[in-house]
Amino acid sequence: MSEGHPRPGCPVAGAPQPLDRSGEERSARALREARDLGFTLAHVSNQPMIAPSILSADFAHLADEMAAVNGAPGQRADWLHVDVMDAHFVPNLTLGLPVVESLLKATDIPIDCHLMIEDPDRWAIGYAEAGAHNVTVHVEAAKDPIAIAKDLRAAGAKAGLSIKPNTPLDPYVEVLKHYDTLLVMSVEPGFGGQKFMAEVLDKARKARELVDTGHLNLLVEIDGGINADTIEQAAEAGVDCFVAGSAVYNADDPAKAVEALRAKAAPNFAHARQ
């Protein structure tokens, strides 16, 4: 993709869109109601969920980049993964709440906010109130993760908890009973394009076992180094939702890349649930 130019065939930002944009945008409540249905269906879906990460997209044309993965049913992203970084919790700076609010107005794909920030106890609620579908905080940064989960849910969002590659799962199993999503990091958070860390899959397997035996009720999500070469082993470990950045947005056709990743994961995804 050439820098600074919309993708061929993608609607230009600002052009008429199929979404109803008359007057004010749909309220955050209406957005959450629509997206709650998607989350419920995901729990019983027999298909892997693909969440393209806009960290690998062209920031000059984010509306077009989101439209590029909003194709036919088989090629449509399940979630859009938005990395919020503050240059303190991780050594990178990306975007914040005002940009997320704009993204929510430009797509009907559920927004999955991954907050790699200090003091999520203070800041996470704003993303839920804006209408984000799933808001994930890091257990390493949260002072009171149970209170955060309650606040996010009260605001109408799903609550996600993320753990870094070197953070063990076992100490947080009881905390995870208050959460809707577990995000297992398979790279050190902060930058895209890193090599997949297969050793974290033991945590995904443990989480899958806890879900299947009724101890937890959540989606298992993985983020970092997911591509055509790694998605199968992540699916075999019991992952539900796969965050993919460069594997989608470096492709000539991002929508077809979403379809290909989903197809690649599907056999092991089904096997892990037998």
User: Could you read off the pLDDT of 91-146 as tens digits, one per residue?
Assistant: 999 999 999 999 999 999 999 999 999 999 999 999 999 999 999 999 999 999 99
Total tally of structural domains belonging to the chain: 1
Please determine, for residue 30, whether its predicted confidence score (pLDDT) is greater than 50.
Answer: no
What pLDDT score does 74 carry? 87
- Provide the domain limits for residue 157: 45-271
When pLDDT is cut at 50, 70 and 90, the band that residue 73 belongs to is: confident
The packing angle between helices 120-130 and 145-154, to 10°, is: 20
Neighbouring residues of 75: CB distance < 8 A, sequence distance ≥ 6: 69, 255, 256, 258, 259
Q: Which of 5-14, 77-86, 155-164, 178-187 has the lowest mean pLDDT?
A: 5-14
Q: From 235, 265, 261, 234, select the one nearest 249 (Cα to Cα).
A: 261
4 labelled binding-site residue: no
When pLDDT is cut at 50, 70 and 90, the band that residue 246 belongs to is: very high
User: Would residue 67 count as lying in a domain?
Assistant: yes
Q: From 34, 44, 26, 48, select the one nearest 221 (Cα to Cα).
A: 48
Active-site residue, 223 included: yes
User: Would residue 135 count as lying in a domain?
Assistant: yes
Q: In this predicted model, what pLDDT tens digit does every residue of 48-57 receive, in sequence order?
A: 999 999 999 9
**Residues β-bridged to residue 243:** 51, 223
User: Would residue 53 count as lying in a domain?
Assistant: yes
CA gyration radius for the chain?
A: 17
User: Would residue 28 count as lying in a domain?
Assistant: no
What pLDDT score does 270 carry? 77
What is this structure's pTM? 0.84
| Active-site residue, selected from the candidate residues 78, 83, 86, 112 | 83
CATH number at residue 234: 3.20.20.70
What pLDDT score does 274 carry? 62
When pLDDT is cut at 50, 70 and 90, the band that residue 2 belongs to is: very low
| Active-site residue, selected from the candidate residues 58, 78, 112, 223 | 223
Q: In this predicted model, what pLDDT tens digit does every residue of 147-164 receive, in sequence order?
A: 999 999 999 999 999 999
User: Would residue 210 count as lying in a domain?
Assistant: yes
Copy the structure tokens of residue 162.
Answer: 């993320």
223 labelled binding-site residue: yes
What's the mean pLDDT when you consider all of the chain? 88
User: Would residue 26 count as lying in a domain?
Assistant: no
192 labelled binding-site residue: yes
What pLDDT score does 14 carry? 45
Say how many C-beta atoms besides its own lie within 10 A of residue 54's C-beta: 25
User: Would residue 20 count as lying in a domain?
Assistant: no
What pLDDT score does 7 carry? 62
186 labelled binding-site residue: no
Distance CA 115, CA 162 (A): 9
Which comes out higher in pLDDT, residue 72 or 169? 169
What pLDDT score does 8 carry? 54
260 Cα distance to chain centroid: 18
What pLDDT score does 267 carry? 93
53 labelled binding-site residue: yes
Please determine, for residue 234, whether its predicted confidence score (pLDDT) is greater than 70.
Answer: yes
User: Would residue 142 count as lying in a domain?
Assistant: yes
